[in-house]
């Protein structure tokens, strides 16, 4: 019995399928806490649909959770440059900067995120 198996490389696996299939795959990886794998899928998807915030935000979160903080920061800055009132991206940017020890830069981002989400300090 001659059975031929088609093999794919890792790069082909992460890029395989339609954008919606890759989005679902990335969400599955993220949900399973396989953040680096999710980032590999999402990086290609973001290149393909750079105007969409959802994949870019999940990519930033995947980078954050896999300690790729500079990459997370770059994606988050792209989001807030395009949509200055995206409060979750600002919150994540602030946390990413904090995690890098850049507290002075993080403070304004975190305060702005709180204001945009309607959280105001209690007097």
pLDDT in tens, 44-60: 999 999 999 999 999 99
% of the chain residues with pLDDT over 90: 79
Residue 53 lies in a domain: yes
Indicate the number of domains in the chain: 1
Q: If we measure between CA atoms, which residue out of 70, 1, 71, 82 comes closest to residue 38?
A: 71
Residue 109 sits in a domain whose CATH number is: 1.25.40.10
Assess if residue 108 is contained within a domain.
yes
Statement: residue 119 has pLDDT above 90: no
Range of the domain at 46: 10-116
Beta carbons within 8 Å of 91's beta carbon, 6+ residues apart: 109, 110, 113, 114, 117
Residue 4 lies in a domain: no
Closest CA to 116 of 100, 92, 97: 92
Residue 118: the pLDDT is 83
* pTM given for the model: 0.85
């Amino acid at each position: 019995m001659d059975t031929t198996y088609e093999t794919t490389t890792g790069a082909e696996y992460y890029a395989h399928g339609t954008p919606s299939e890759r989005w679902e795959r990335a969400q599955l990886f993220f949900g399973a806490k396989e953040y680096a794998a999710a980032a590999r899928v999402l990086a290609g998807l973001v290149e393909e649909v750079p105007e969409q915030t959802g994949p870019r935000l999940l990519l930033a979160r995947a980078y954050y959770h896999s300690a790729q903080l500079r990459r997370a920061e770059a994606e988050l800055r792209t989001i807030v440059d395009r949509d200055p009132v995206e409060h979750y991206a600002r919150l994540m940017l602030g946390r990413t900067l904090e995690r890098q020890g850049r507290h002075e830069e993080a403070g304004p981002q975190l305060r702005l995120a709180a204001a945009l989400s309607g959280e105001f300090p209690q007097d």
